[in-house]
Protein backbone atom coordinates (compact mmCIF):
# COMPACT_ATOMS: atom_id res chain seq x y z
CA UNK A 1 0.00 0.00 0.00
CA UNK A 2 1.34 3.42 -0.95
CA UNK A 3 1.61 5.84 1.99
CA UNK A 4 -0.34 9.07 1.89
CA UNK A 5 2.15 11.64 0.60
CA UNK A 6 0.07 14.48 2.02
CA UNK A 7 0.76 13.42 5.61
CA UNK A 8 4.51 13.64 6.31
CA UNK A 9 6.04 11.16 8.76
CA UNK A 10 6.60 12.23 12.34
CA UNK A 11 10.04 13.73 12.97
CA UNK A 12 12.62 11.66 14.82
CA UNK A 13 13.24 13.42 18.16
CA UNK A 14 16.89 13.79 19.18
CA UNK A 15 17.99 13.74 22.83
CA UNK A 16 21.38 13.90 24.47
CA UNK A 17 22.91 10.54 25.34
CA UNK A 18 26.21 9.47 26.79
CA UNK A 19 25.47 5.75 27.19
CA UNK A 20 25.54 3.18 24.39
CA UNK A 21 22.16 3.12 22.63
CA UNK A 22 22.67 -0.62 22.10
CA UNK A 23 22.90 -1.70 25.76
CA UNK A 24 19.58 -3.38 25.17
CA UNK A 25 17.43 -3.68 22.08
CA UNK A 26 14.12 -1.80 21.75
CA UNK A 27 12.31 -5.13 22.13
CA UNK A 28 14.03 -5.81 25.42
CA UNK A 29 13.09 -2.37 26.70
CA UNK A 30 9.43 -3.08 26.02
CA UNK A 31 9.51 -6.31 27.96
CA UNK A 32 9.77 -8.76 25.08
CA UNK A 33 11.39 -12.11 25.69
CA UNK A 34 13.93 -11.54 22.90
CA UNK A 35 16.27 -9.35 24.96
CA UNK A 36 19.46 -9.88 22.97
CA UNK A 37 22.31 -7.45 22.88
CA UNK A 38 23.12 -6.28 19.38
CA UNK A 39 26.23 -8.07 18.00
CA UNK A 40 29.39 -6.02 18.49
CA UNK A 41 30.16 -6.14 14.76
CA UNK A 42 27.01 -4.09 14.11
CA UNK A 43 27.77 -1.37 16.64
CA UNK A 44 28.87 1.91 15.14
CA UNK A 45 31.77 3.66 16.82
CA UNK A 46 31.24 5.43 20.13
CA UNK A 47 32.48 8.80 18.81
CA UNK A 48 29.33 9.85 17.01
CA UNK A 49 26.69 12.44 17.83
CA UNK A 50 23.24 11.68 19.34
CA UNK A 51 21.70 12.37 15.94
CA UNK A 52 23.89 9.82 14.20
CA UNK A 53 23.06 7.22 16.84
CA UNK A 54 19.32 7.85 16.48
CA UNK A 55 19.44 7.65 12.67
CA UNK A 56 21.55 4.50 12.57
CA UNK A 57 19.25 2.84 15.11
CA UNK A 58 16.26 3.81 12.94
CA UNK A 59 17.72 1.86 9.99
CA UNK A 60 19.55 -0.85 11.95
CA UNK A 61 16.92 -3.51 11.27
CA UNK A 62 17.97 -3.44 7.60
CA UNK A 63 21.67 -3.76 8.42
CA UNK A 64 21.11 -6.56 10.94
CA UNK A 65 20.44 -8.79 7.92
CA UNK A 66 24.02 -8.11 6.80
CA UNK A 67 25.64 -9.84 9.79
CA UNK A 68 25.50 -13.30 8.25
CA UNK A 69 23.58 -13.16 4.97
CA UNK A 70 23.15 -16.40 3.04
CA UNK A 71 25.83 -16.71 0.39
CA UNK A 72 23.20 -17.46 -2.22
CA UNK A 73 20.87 -14.58 -1.21
CA UNK A 74 19.76 -13.03 -4.51
CA UNK A 75 19.90 -9.31 -5.24
CA UNK A 76 16.70 -7.35 -5.62
CA UNK A 77 15.04 -8.78 -8.73
CA UNK A 78 12.52 -6.07 -9.54
CA UNK A 79 12.97 -2.32 -9.18
CA UNK A 80 10.21 -0.45 -7.43
CA UNK A 81 8.90 3.03 -8.19
CA UNK A 82 8.89 5.24 -5.10
CA UNK A 83 7.92 8.83 -4.40
CA UNK A 84 10.07 11.41 -2.59
CA UNK A 85 7.53 11.27 0.26
CA UNK A 86 8.45 7.64 0.93
CA UNK A 87 12.05 8.55 1.73
CA UNK A 88 11.33 11.90 3.40
CA UNK A 89 12.77 12.01 6.92
CA UNK A 90 12.85 14.76 9.54
CA UNK A 91 14.98 15.01 12.67
CA UNK A 92 14.31 17.43 15.50
CA UNK A 93 16.83 19.00 17.88
CA UNK A 94 15.19 20.05 21.15
CA UNK A 95 17.75 22.73 21.91
CA UNK A 96 15.31 24.94 23.81
CA UNK A 97 14.53 22.28 26.42
CA UNK A 98 17.58 19.96 26.44
CA UNK A 99 20.53 21.71 28.08
CA UNK A 100 22.94 18.80 27.60
CA UNK A 101 22.16 18.57 23.90
CA UNK A 102 22.83 22.31 23.57
CA UNK A 103 26.22 21.90 25.20
CA UNK A 104 27.14 19.09 22.82
CA UNK A 105 26.51 21.34 19.81
CA UNK A 106 27.54 24.78 21.13
CA UNK A 107 30.47 26.62 19.50
CA UNK A 108 32.34 29.61 21.03
CA UNK A 109 29.85 32.06 19.46
CA UNK A 110 26.73 30.38 20.85
CA UNK A 111 25.93 28.92 17.45
CA UNK A 112 25.72 25.30 16.28
CA UNK A 113 29.08 23.67 15.54
CA UNK A 114 29.17 23.29 11.77
CA UNK A 115 31.53 20.31 11.94
CA UNK A 116 29.07 18.29 14.06
CA UNK A 117 26.20 19.37 11.81
CA UNK A 118 28.09 18.01 8.79
CA UNK A 119 28.21 14.61 10.50
CA UNK A 120 24.47 14.66 11.12
CA UNK A 121 23.67 15.72 7.56
CA UNK A 122 25.70 12.82 6.16
CA UNK A 123 23.99 10.36 8.52
CA UNK A 124 20.54 11.68 7.58
CA UNK A 125 21.31 11.48 3.85
CA UNK A 126 22.43 7.88 4.36
CA UNK A 127 19.21 6.98 6.16
CA UNK A 128 17.16 8.55 3.35
CA UNK A 129 19.09 6.58 0.73
CA UNK A 130 18.40 3.34 2.64
CA UNK A 131 14.69 4.16 2.76
CA UNK A 132 14.55 4.74 -0.98
CA UNK A 133 16.52 1.62 -1.91
CA UNK A 134 14.85 -0.81 0.51
CA UNK A 135 12.57 -3.39 -1.08
CA UNK A 136 11.21 -4.66 2.29
CA UNK A 137 12.14 -8.21 1.30
CA UNK A 138 14.21 -10.07 3.89
CA UNK A 139 15.16 -12.79 1.39
CA UNK A 140 17.25 -10.46 -0.82
CA UNK A 141 20.57 -8.90 0.04
CA UNK A 142 20.36 -5.15 0.61
CA UNK A 143 22.48 -2.64 -1.26
CA UNK A 144 25.72 -1.13 0.02
CA UNK A 145 25.16 2.65 -0.09
CA UNK A 146 28.02 5.13 0.11
CA UNK A 147 28.43 8.90 -0.08
CA UNK A 148 29.91 9.77 -3.48
CA UNK A 149 30.01 13.54 -3.03
CA UNK A 150 28.48 16.58 -1.44
CA UNK A 151 27.45 18.69 -4.41
CA UNK A 152 26.72 21.90 -2.56
CA UNK A 153 26.02 23.15 0.95
CA UNK A 154 25.12 26.78 1.63
CA UNK A 155 24.71 28.50 5.00
CA UNK A 156 22.01 31.14 4.60
CA UNK A 157 22.00 32.48 8.17
CA UNK A 158 23.73 31.73 11.49
CA UNK A 159 22.23 28.74 13.32
CA UNK A 160 21.55 29.45 16.98
CA UNK A 161 22.12 26.72 19.56
CA UNK A 162 19.33 28.08 21.79
CA UNK A 163 16.45 27.62 19.33
CA UNK A 164 14.93 24.28 18.28
CA UNK A 165 16.11 23.04 14.91
CA UNK A 166 14.86 20.50 12.42
CA UNK A 167 16.35 18.98 9.28
CA UNK A 168 14.18 17.51 6.54
CA UNK A 169 15.38 15.64 3.47
CA UNK A 170 14.29 13.32 0.67
CA UNK A 171 15.54 11.73 -2.53
CA UNK A 172 14.99 14.28 -5.30
CA UNK A 173 16.57 12.51 -8.31
CA UNK A 174 17.87 9.07 -9.28
CA UNK A 175 20.10 7.78 -12.05
CA UNK A 176 20.85 4.14 -12.71
CA UNK A 177 22.93 3.53 -9.57
CA UNK A 178 23.08 6.99 -8.00
CA UNK A 179 20.66 9.30 -6.27
CA UNK A 180 20.57 12.94 -5.23
CA UNK A 181 19.33 13.84 -1.76
CA UNK A 182 18.39 17.37 -0.75
CA UNK A 183 18.41 18.44 2.89
CA UNK A 184 16.99 21.63 4.42
CA UNK A 185 17.99 22.85 7.87
CA UNK A 186 15.13 24.98 9.23
CA UNK A 187 15.11 27.07 12.39
CA UNK A 188 12.41 29.43 13.68
CA UNK A 189 13.32 33.09 13.59
CA UNK A 190 15.33 34.40 16.52
CA UNK A 191 14.85 37.99 15.32
CA UNK A 192 11.68 39.80 14.23
CA UNK A 193 13.20 40.73 10.86
CA UNK A 194 13.43 37.06 9.78
CA UNK A 195 10.75 34.86 8.28
CA UNK A 196 8.90 32.76 10.89
CA UNK A 197 10.46 29.45 9.74
CA UNK A 198 13.41 30.25 7.50
CA UNK A 199 15.82 27.80 5.88
CA UNK A 200 19.20 28.25 7.55
CA UNK A 201 21.20 25.78 5.42
CA UNK A 202 20.67 23.68 2.29
CA UNK A 203 22.73 20.66 1.27
CA UNK A 204 22.80 18.29 -1.69
CA UNK A 205 24.35 14.82 -1.31
CA UNK A 206 25.06 12.27 -4.04
CA UNK A 207 24.90 8.60 -2.95
CA UNK A 208 25.80 5.59 -5.06
CA UNK A 209 24.65 1.98 -4.70
CA UNK A 210 26.91 -1.05 -4.80
CA UNK A 211 26.07 -4.74 -4.63
CA UNK A 212 26.99 -5.95 -1.15
CA UNK A 213 28.74 -9.05 -2.50
CA UNK A 214 30.37 -7.98 -5.78
CA UNK A 215 30.85 -4.26 -4.89
CA UNK A 216 29.84 -3.42 -8.46
CA UNK A 217 27.37 -0.64 -9.30
CA UNK A 218 23.81 -1.75 -8.62
CA UNK A 219 20.55 -0.27 -9.94
CA UNK A 220 18.36 1.66 -7.50
CA UNK A 221 14.59 2.04 -7.28
CA UNK A 222 13.00 4.53 -9.66
CA UNK A 223 11.64 7.88 -8.48
CA UNK A 224 8.24 9.38 -9.32
CA UNK A 225 7.94 13.00 -8.17
CA UNK A 226 4.36 14.01 -7.33
CA UNK A 227 4.13 17.66 -6.28
CA UNK A 228 5.15 20.63 -8.42
CA UNK A 229 8.12 21.33 -6.15
CA UNK A 230 9.30 17.72 -6.39
CA UNK A 231 9.05 17.85 -10.18
CA UNK A 232 11.05 21.10 -10.32
CA UNK A 233 13.75 19.65 -8.06
CA UNK A 234 13.96 16.55 -10.26
CA UNK A 235 14.26 18.62 -13.45
CA UNK A 236 16.93 20.85 -11.89
CA UNK A 237 18.93 17.81 -10.78
CA UNK A 238 18.64 16.26 -14.24
CA UNK A 239 19.93 19.49 -15.80
CA UNK A 240 22.87 19.58 -13.35
CA UNK A 241 23.77 16.00 -14.19
CA UNK A 242 23.83 16.77 -17.93
CA UNK A 243 25.85 19.92 -17.29
CA UNK A 244 28.46 17.92 -15.36
CA UNK A 245 28.85 15.47 -18.25
CA UNK A 246 29.22 18.37 -20.69
CA UNK A 247 31.80 19.99 -18.42
CA UNK A 248 33.90 16.80 -18.32
CA UNK A 249 33.91 16.70 -22.15
CA UNK A 250 34.82 20.39 -22.41
CA UNK A 251 37.62 20.01 -19.85
CA UNK A 252 39.20 17.29 -22.00
CA UNK A 253 39.09 19.58 -25.02
CA UNK A 254 40.59 22.46 -23.04
CA UNK A 255 43.46 20.24 -21.90
CA UNK A 256 44.06 19.17 -25.49
CA UNK A 257 43.95 22.73 -26.82
CA UNK A 258 45.92 24.16 -23.88
CA UNK A 259 45.21 27.26 -21.83
CA UNK A 260 48.67 28.74 -21.61
CA UNK A 261 47.44 32.31 -21.22
CA UNK A 262 45.51 31.65 -18.01
CA UNK A 263 48.42 29.72 -16.56
CA UNK A 264 50.92 32.38 -17.50
CA UNK A 265 48.88 35.16 -15.93
CA UNK A 266 48.54 33.22 -12.70
CA UNK A 267 52.19 32.16 -12.62
CA UNK A 268 53.69 35.55 -13.48
CA UNK A 269 53.36 36.98 -9.97
CA UNK A 270 54.41 33.69 -8.39
CA UNK A 271 57.67 33.75 -10.32
CA UNK A 272 58.46 37.16 -8.85
CA UNK A 273 58.03 35.71 -5.34
CA UNK A 274 60.34 32.81 -6.21
CA UNK A 275 62.98 34.69 -8.20
CA UNK A 276 62.86 38.25 -6.81
CA UNK A 277 61.15 38.04 -3.38
CA UNK A 278 62.24 41.56 -2.37
CA UNK A 279 60.17 42.97 -5.26
CA UNK A 280 57.04 40.89 -4.66
CA UNK A 281 53.70 42.50 -3.90
CA UNK A 282 53.24 42.64 -0.13
CA UNK A 283 49.47 42.30 -0.56
CA UNK A 284 49.99 38.83 -2.08
CA UNK A 285 51.20 35.51 -0.69
CA UNK A 286 52.31 32.22 -2.22
CA UNK A 287 49.79 29.40 -2.03
CA UNK A 288 52.34 27.11 -0.35
CA UNK A 289 52.71 29.59 2.52
CA UNK A 290 49.02 29.20 3.47
CA UNK A 291 49.25 25.45 4.14
CA UNK A 292 48.33 23.60 7.31
CA UNK A 293 48.31 19.86 7.97
CA UNK A 294 47.25 17.36 10.59
CA UNK A 295 47.16 13.58 10.76
CA UNK A 296 45.53 10.77 12.69
CA UNK A 297 45.22 7.02 12.96
CA UNK A 298 41.59 6.08 12.26
CA UNK A 299 40.11 4.47 15.35
CA UNK A 300 37.24 1.96 15.77
CA UNK A 301 35.25 4.62 17.64
CA UNK A 302 34.93 6.52 14.34
CA UNK A 303 33.50 3.65 12.27
CA UNK A 304 30.04 3.49 10.73
CA UNK A 305 27.60 0.58 10.50
CA UNK A 306 29.63 -0.88 7.61
CA UNK A 307 32.79 -0.92 9.76
CA UNK A 308 34.51 1.82 7.75
CA UNK A 309 35.29 5.36 8.84
CA UNK A 310 32.13 7.47 8.87
CA UNK A 311 32.10 10.07 6.08
CA UNK A 312 30.57 12.64 8.42
CA UNK A 313 33.58 12.29 10.72
CA UNK A 314 35.91 13.00 7.79
CA UNK A 315 33.90 16.12 6.89
CA UNK A 316 33.98 17.25 10.51
CA UNK A 317 37.78 16.98 10.70
CA UNK A 318 38.26 18.60 7.28
CA UNK A 319 35.98 21.52 8.22
CA UNK A 320 37.86 22.27 11.43
CA UNK A 321 41.22 22.25 9.59
CA UNK A 322 39.76 24.50 6.87
CA UNK A 323 38.43 26.89 9.52
CA UNK A 324 41.88 27.02 11.18
CA UNK A 325 43.50 27.62 7.77
CA UNK A 326 41.18 30.54 7.02
CA UNK A 327 41.79 31.95 10.53
CA UNK A 328 45.59 31.88 10.31
CA UNK A 329 45.48 33.25 6.76
CA UNK A 330 43.10 36.15 7.37
CA UNK A 331 44.25 37.08 10.85
CA UNK A 332 40.57 37.58 11.68
CA UNK A 333 37.88 35.20 12.92
CA UNK A 334 36.41 33.49 9.82
CA UNK A 335 32.72 32.97 9.15
CA UNK A 336 31.62 29.85 7.25
CA UNK A 337 29.58 30.35 4.07
CA UNK A 338 29.59 27.20 1.92
CA UNK A 339 30.82 23.68 1.37
CA UNK A 340 31.53 24.07 -2.34
CA UNK A 341 32.16 20.41 -3.08
CA UNK A 342 33.29 17.18 -1.43
CA UNK A 343 34.52 14.10 -3.30
CA UNK A 344 34.65 10.68 -1.60
CA UNK A 345 37.15 8.97 -3.88
CA UNK A 346 37.92 5.84 -1.85
CA UNK A 347 36.81 4.37 1.49
CA UNK A 348 38.83 4.93 4.65
CA UNK A 349 39.25 1.94 6.97
CA UNK A 350 39.83 1.54 10.69
CA UNK A 351 43.59 1.61 11.29
CA UNK A 352 44.39 3.77 8.25
CA UNK A 353 46.98 6.54 8.68
CA UNK A 354 45.07 9.60 7.42
CA UNK A 355 46.67 12.97 6.60
CA UNK A 356 44.68 16.15 6.00
CA UNK A 357 46.46 18.87 4.01
CA UNK A 358 44.88 22.29 3.55
CA UNK A 359 45.65 25.54 1.75
CA UNK A 360 43.95 28.73 0.64
CA UNK A 361 43.42 28.24 -3.11
CA UNK A 362 42.30 31.75 -3.95
CA UNK A 363 40.54 34.83 -2.59
CA UNK A 364 37.85 37.08 -4.06
CA UNK A 365 37.22 40.76 -3.42
CA UNK A 366 34.00 41.57 -5.25
CA UNK A 367 32.93 43.53 -2.17
CA UNK A 368 35.22 44.88 0.51
CA UNK A 369 32.55 44.08 3.10
CA UNK A 370 32.66 40.34 2.40
CA UNK A 371 35.97 39.07 0.98
CA UNK A 372 35.81 35.36 0.13
CA UNK A 373 38.46 32.84 1.21
CA UNK A 374 38.37 29.55 -0.73
CA UNK A 375 40.05 26.68 1.15
CA UNK A 376 40.97 23.24 -0.18
CA UNK A 377 41.47 20.23 2.11
CA UNK A 378 42.81 16.98 0.69
CA UNK A 379 42.79 13.75 2.74
CA UNK A 380 45.44 11.13 2.00
CA UNK A 381 45.50 7.51 3.15
CA UNK A 382 49.21 6.93 3.73
CA UNK A 383 50.79 3.48 3.96
CA UNK A 384 54.45 3.88 5.02
CA UNK A 385 55.14 0.13 4.76
CA UNK A 386 54.09 0.23 1.08
CA UNK A 387 55.62 3.68 0.40
CA UNK A 388 52.23 4.79 -0.94
CA UNK A 389 49.82 7.68 -0.39
CA UNK A 390 46.38 7.81 -2.04
CA UNK A 391 43.85 10.65 -2.05
CA UNK A 392 40.65 9.54 -0.32
CA UNK A 393 38.74 12.83 -0.17
CA UNK A 394 38.77 16.36 -1.53
CA UNK A 395 36.91 19.12 0.30
CA UNK A 396 36.31 22.73 -0.75
CA UNK A 397 35.04 25.37 1.67
CA UNK A 398 34.32 29.09 1.40
CA UNK A 399 34.71 31.49 4.32
CA UNK A 400 34.50 35.21 4.86
CA UNK A 401 35.43 37.17 7.99
CA UNK A 402 33.03 37.96 10.80
CA UNK A 403 31.74 41.56 10.54
CA UNK A 404 32.49 42.24 14.20
CA UNK A 405 36.08 41.03 13.75
CA UNK A 406 36.52 43.19 10.64
CA UNK A 407 35.12 46.23 12.46
CA UNK A 408 37.72 45.87 15.21
CA UNK A 409 40.53 45.68 12.64
CA UNK A 410 39.57 48.53 10.34
CA UNK A 411 41.91 48.70 7.38
CA UNK A 412 43.05 45.05 7.61
CA UNK A 413 43.37 43.61 4.10
CA UNK A 414 42.95 40.00 3.00
CA UNK A 415 45.88 39.03 0.79
CA UNK A 416 45.76 37.65 -2.74
CA UNK A 417 47.01 34.05 -3.19
CA UNK A 418 49.32 33.26 -6.12
CA UNK A 419 50.68 29.89 -7.34
CA UNK A 420 54.36 29.04 -7.66
CA UNK A 421 53.94 25.96 -9.90
CA UNK A 422 51.82 24.93 -12.88
CA UNK A 423 50.18 22.22 -10.77
CA UNK A 424 49.03 24.86 -8.24
CA UNK A 425 47.81 27.11 -11.08
CA UNK A 426 45.83 24.21 -12.57
CA UNK A 427 44.12 23.50 -9.24
CA UNK A 428 43.14 27.17 -8.89
CA UNK A 429 41.72 27.34 -12.42
CA UNK A 430 39.77 24.07 -12.00
CA UNK A 431 38.21 25.33 -8.76
CA UNK A 432 37.39 28.76 -10.23
CA UNK A 433 35.71 27.07 -13.20
CA UNK A 434 33.75 24.75 -10.91
CA UNK A 435 32.54 27.73 -8.88
CA UNK A 436 31.51 29.52 -12.07
CA UNK A 437 29.59 26.42 -13.18
CA UNK A 438 27.72 26.31 -9.87
CA UNK A 439 26.85 30.01 -10.19
CA UNK A 440 25.41 29.40 -13.66
CA UNK A 441 23.40 26.44 -12.32
CA UNK A 442 22.00 28.56 -9.51
CA UNK A 443 21.10 31.45 -11.81
CA UNK A 444 19.22 29.08 -14.15
CA UNK A 445 17.00 27.74 -11.34
| Residue 271 and residue 406 in one domain | yes
| Residue 33 and residue 88 in one domain | yes
According to the model, what pLDDT value does residue 143 have? 81
Secondary structure element (H or E) that encloses residue 201, with its range: strand 197-211
How is residue 331 annotated by DSSP? S
- For 125-156, the pLDDT digits (tens) are 999 998 898 876 666 777 888 999 998 899 99
Asked whether residue 243 is assigned to any structural domain, the reply reads no
| Residue 279 and residue 223 in one domain | no
140 versus 30: which is more confidently predicted? 140
Asked whether residue 3 is assigned to any structural domain, the reply reads no
Domain count across the chain: 2
**CATH number for the domain harbouring residue 22:** 3.10.129.10
Query: How far is Cα 84 from Cα 5, in angstroms, rounded to an integer?
Result: 9
pLDDT > 90 in the chain, percent = 46
Q: How far is CA 107 from CA 110, 166, 259, in A?
A: 5, 18, 44
| Residue 180 and residue 329 in one domain | no
**Which residue among 209, 229, 249 closes a domain?**
229
User: Among 244, 264, 260, which Cα is nearest to 434's?
Assistant: 244
- For 334-376, the pLDDT digits (tens) are 999 999 889 999 999 999 999 999 999 999 986 667 889 999 9
**Which residue among 229, 251, 281 closes a domain?**
229
| Residue 220 and residue 272 in one domain | no
Asked whether residue 247 is assigned to any structural domain, the reply reads no
- For 88-106, the pLDDT digits (tens) are 999 999 999 999 899 999 9
Query: How far is Cα 380 from Cα 181, in angstroms, rounded to an integer?
Result: 27
User: Among 124, 306, 140, which Cα is nearest to 219's?
Assistant: 140
Range of the domain at 321: 259-444
User: Among 300, 80, 290, 264, which Cα is nearest to 174's?
Assistant: 80
Q: Is 418 helix (H, G, I), strand (E, B) or coil?
A: strand
| Residue 206 and residue 306 in one domain | no
Of the chain, the end-to-end C-alpha distance in Å amounts to: 34
| Residue 269 and residue 358 in one domain | yes
38 versus 162: which is more confidently predicted? 162
According to the model, what pLDDT value does residue 260 have? 59
| Residue 111 and residue 184 in one domain | yes
According to the model, what pLDDT value does residue 194 have? 60
Buried b vs exposed e over 2-32: b needs ≥16 C-beta within 10 Å? eeeeeeeeeebebeeeeeebbeebeeeeeee
**Which residue among 229, 251, 280 closes a domain?**
229
| Residue 223 and residue 312 in one domain | no
According to the model, what pLDDT value does residue 272 have? 87
Asked whether residue 246 is assigned to any structural domain, the reply reads no
| Residue 225 and residue 263 in one domain | no
Q: How far is CA 304 from CA 134, 159, 300, in A?
A: 19, 27, 9
Amino acid sequence: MEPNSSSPPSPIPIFSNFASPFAESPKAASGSASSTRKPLSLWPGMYHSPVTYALWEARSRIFERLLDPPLDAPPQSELLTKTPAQSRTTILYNFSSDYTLREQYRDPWNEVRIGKLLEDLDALAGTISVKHCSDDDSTTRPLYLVTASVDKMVLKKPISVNVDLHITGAVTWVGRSSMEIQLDVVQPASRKSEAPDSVALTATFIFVARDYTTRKAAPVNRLSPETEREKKLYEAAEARNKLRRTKITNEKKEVENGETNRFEVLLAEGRIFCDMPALADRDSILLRDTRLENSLICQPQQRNIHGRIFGGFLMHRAFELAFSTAYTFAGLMPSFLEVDHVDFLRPVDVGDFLRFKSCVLYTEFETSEQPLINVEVVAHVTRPELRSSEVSNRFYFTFTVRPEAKAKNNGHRIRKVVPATEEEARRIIERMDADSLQLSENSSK
